């Protein structure tokens, strides 16, 4: 039995076993050609776990309460948090604008290329939770289920099914009874490019990263330097 099949079998029979043993659960890392990356990822997991344990020993006071999404929103956008008022509904034009979907994908790629982060849709730049009703209607109704399906299909098409399954988690929390979308993005194990359609020409690969509270595109030379430092 190959290592990949063995780990898959263990995960299927004992869902928590790999996590308890600090073994990466990303199926891409189980491929034999990714063995070195598997070892690198597991070393980091072991180091992080040890550091967390040591910090727990020296910690002198416990946190008074759990940080909520309301707390995060109140702090505003930063390197790890981004707000988008809508997913595909253009507020200014009053119509569907699929270019806005590309902005969402760009932000997901930027977080994955950095160290992960969270994208909230249905929250204005000022931190006002306005919800998803306009996006729901733009998809012909169906609420969050149809919204999530459309979002997941776009992520799979842009970055692959494995990325969608292991690096992206979509939930629909509420604040004051208003439902919005939270997308938690994990750091990628390899560079994440986004195919961007060019007017009058074929689509081109673009590379985005997080810089403060924005997701700028890097030039070819800048992207290569960043990749060499971040992924190699």
Which domains does the chain carry?
A: 3-58 (no CATH), 69-230 (3.30.950.30)
- Per-residue pLDDT tens over the stretch 144-187: 999 999 999 999 999 999 999 999 999 999 999 999 999 999 99
Look at 103-112, 192-201, 210-219 and tell me which has the smallest mean pLDDT: 192-201
- As a whole number of Å, the CA-based R_g of the chain is 19
As a whole number of angstroms, the distance between CA 49 and CA 31 comes to 24
- Give phi and psi for 220, each to the nearest 5: -55, -45
Per-residue pLDDT at 49: 78
| In contact, 134 and 96? CB cutoff 8 Å | no
List 175's β-bridge partners, or say none: 178
Q: How many Cβ atoms are within 10 Å of 76's Cβ, its own excluded?
A: 12
- Per-residue pLDDT tens over the stretch 29-86: 888 888 888 888 888 888 787 777 776 655 544 445 567 889 889 999 999 999 999 9
As a whole number of angstroms, the distance between CA 5 and CA 127 comes to 45
DSSP, res 113: H
**What's the whole-number mean pLDDT along residues 189-213?**
89
As a whole number of angstroms, the distance between CA 108 and CA 103 comes to 9
Structure tokens at 223: 């992207």
| In contact, 49 and 35? CB cutoff 8 Å | no
- Per-residue pLDDT tens over the stretch 97-151: 999 999 999 999 999 999 999 999 999 999 999 999 999 999 998 899 999 999 9
């Amino acid at each position: 039995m190959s290592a990949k099949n063995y780990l898959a079998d263990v995960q299927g029979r004992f869902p928590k076993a790999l996590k308890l043993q600090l073994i990466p659960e990303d199926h891409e890392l189980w491929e034999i050609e990714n063995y070195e990356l598997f070892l690198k990822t597991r070393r980091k997991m072991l180091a992080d776990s040890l550091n967390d344990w040591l910090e727990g020993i020296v910690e002198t006071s416990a946190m008074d309460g759990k940080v909520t999404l309301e707390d995060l929103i109140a702090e505003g956008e930063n390197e790890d948090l981004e707000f988008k008022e809508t997913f595909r509904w253009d507020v200014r034009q009053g119509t569907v604008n699929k270019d806005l979907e590309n902005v969402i994908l760009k932000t997901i790629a930027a977080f994955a290329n950095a160290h992960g982060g969270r994208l909230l849709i249905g929250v204005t730049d000022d931190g006002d939770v306005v919800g998803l009703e306009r996006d729901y209607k733009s998809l012909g109704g169906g609420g969050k289920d149809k919204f999530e399906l459309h979002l997941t299909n776009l992520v799979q098409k842009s970055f692959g099914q494995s990325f969608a399954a292991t690096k992206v988690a979509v939930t629909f929390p509420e604040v004051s009874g208003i439902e919005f979308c939270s997308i938690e993005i994990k750091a990628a194990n390899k560079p994440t490019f986004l195919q961007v359609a060019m007017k009058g020409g074929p689509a081109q690969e673009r590379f985005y990263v997080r810089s403060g509270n924005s997701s700028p595109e890097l030039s070819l030379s800048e992207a290569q330097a960043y990749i060499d430092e971040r992924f190699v």
